[in-house]
Structure 1
Amino acid sequence: MQKRFPSLSPSSYGAGWPASKRIAIGASAVAVLLAIAVVVALLTGGGNGHRAPETAAPASTGSPSPSEAAPKPSSGSGAVPHPPQIAEPVGYATAAAKMLWSYDTRTTSRDQQLAGMRAWMTTETTYADWASVSGQVPDPVLWSRMADQDQHATAHVTEGHYPSAFKQALADDPSAITKAYIYVVTVNGKQQIAWKSGGGGAEERAVTLAVQCRPNHDCTLAAIAPSVTQ
């Protein structure tokens, strides 16, 4: 029987962290959009967020390595798709989620995976939380083990929507978004994983993304939120 290795799984990012760390990252990602109290309520969800099965948790080493902090442009992006030219938050978020849930260790190195994901990020460093995105990629040793088994995954997105807390915050203060134009979008779907000798399986996925969509510009990814909200 082929051994299955952990897959990229943004939906469980940060789920095991102390509450104080989850709140800090959530606040840094969207504090520019809403008051701190609203951000905490939105991104921590009072502990009621979804998470993927434990077997799908990403294998990360904590602090990003130098290559994660600054992927080499010359390394290419392998099978990672280029970011689409989409100016609508939900549409971009669903495309980004599909990208995050898809990978192919047969054709893509770990550095290429990181470089491809980095291309989706906002270039406005004030609002970009690259650590929340790069943290989804397994460490070099595990990526190598996954590659030994030809592990790869495809994704199907079923829907994307604005969480109710985000919609309520916008209704309470519509002008709040006009500083950074960061939107919070929850995406649901399914990830299909396969490896050598016909091994494979499918798992449900859910992730909340912070997406920046300035007027007259294509959207970009700002962060992966610590938990999923409704």
Structure 2
Amino acid sequence: MQKRFSSLSLSSYGAGWSGNRRIAIVAATVAVLLAVATVVAWLSGSNNGHRVPDTAAPAPASSTSSSEAAPKPAAGSGSVPHPPRIAEPVAYAKAAAQMLWSYDTRTTSRDQQLAGMRAWMTSETKYADWASVVGQVPDPVLWSRLADQDQNATGTALEGHYPGAFKQALTEEPSAITKAYIYVVTVNGKQQIAWKNGGAGAEARAVTLAVQCRPSHDCSLAAIAPSVTQ
């Protein structure tokens, strides 16, 4: 029986980063959050149990360059939905999670997938961690092998919330959020996967996102963090 590639991630994102960089990217300018010890542990990351097809050799963690440039808009976005006009952090994070958990190698090239995901990112480069999004997408060889199997997936966000450490930090220093308006949101849901010859499966998913929602502006994605369900 063929195994499936359960999500667009080859390995636990951020595993090789220093603790300081993890904190700086996810918490951005929420200074008080940087001092909360629980957040350091929360951002340490863990293996998410991703699987790949039997026909594909596992790619090394460095197979997708963290400095890979986003495809130009002309590449199109295939099956990737356009970012919604949402000004509420949790609602936007839930929509972004569904986008990240969904893909269709039958109709969408890897460049189109990346181009579509790039449209969800904040335009403020100081806070945009594009590498964390690129890290969710298989390398070109693996994407091609998934396409050979007609693999596709649909994500559903069932629940979203602010993790306890983030809420505590905001309670202690409410004004800190006004520097960059970056909110940390955990989304729980499921991913349904299908592939050639009637293959199908489903599994629970969880992701923590850094979402930027400035007043009077639609939200945008700033970064993808390791999974957390608290």
Whether contact under 8 Å (1:209, 1:223) holds in the other structure is: yes
Q: Which runs of 4+ in 1 moved over 6 A?
A: none
Alignment TM-score, normalising by the size of structure 2: 0.87
Q: 5+ residue gaps in structure 2?
A: 53-57
Once the two structures are TM-superposed, the CA of residue 64 in structure 1 deviates from its matched residue by 4.6
Name the counterpart of 2:207. Answer: 207
User: Identity, % of aligned pairs?
Assistant: 67
CA–CA distance in 1 between the matches of 2:67 and 2:151?
Answer: 22
Name the counterpart of 2:35. Answer: 38
Name the counterpart of 2:123. Answer: 123
Whether contact under 8 Å (1:103, 1:154) holds in the other structure is: yes
Letter in 2 for 1:161: H
Q: Deviations over 1:113-149 (max 9, x none)?
A: 0000000000000000000111100000000000000
Q: Summarize the alignment of residues 1-230 of structure 1 with structure 2, pairs less than 5 Å apart.
A: 1=1, 3-9=2-8, 13-14=12-13, 17-18=15-16, 21=18, 23-35=20-32, 37-38=34-35, 41-42=38-39, 44-45=41-42, 52-55=48-51, 61-62=61-62, 64-65=64-65, 68-230=68-230
CA–CA distance in 1 between the matches of 2:101 and 2:110?
Answer: 15
Letter in 1 for 2:26: A
Q: 1:9 to 1:112 in 2, by over 3 A?
A: closer
Q: 5+ residue gaps in structure 1?
A: none
Q: Which has the higher contact order (CA 8 A, sep 6+)?
A: 1
CA–CA distance in 2 between the matches of 1:155 and 1:59?
Answer: 24
CA–CA distance in 2 between the matches of 1:163 and 1:145?
Answer: 37
SS at match of 2:147: helix
Letter in 2 for 1:99: M
Q: 1:35 to 1:61 in 2, by over 3 A?
A: same
Alignment TM-score, normalising by the size of structure 1: 0.87
Q: Which has the higher helix share?
A: 1
Once the two structures are TM-superposed, the CA of residue 62 in structure 1 deviates from its matched residue by 2.5
Between 132-141 and 35-44, report the one with greater CA deviation. Answer: 35-44
Q: 1:162 to 1:36 in 2, by over 3 A?
A: closer
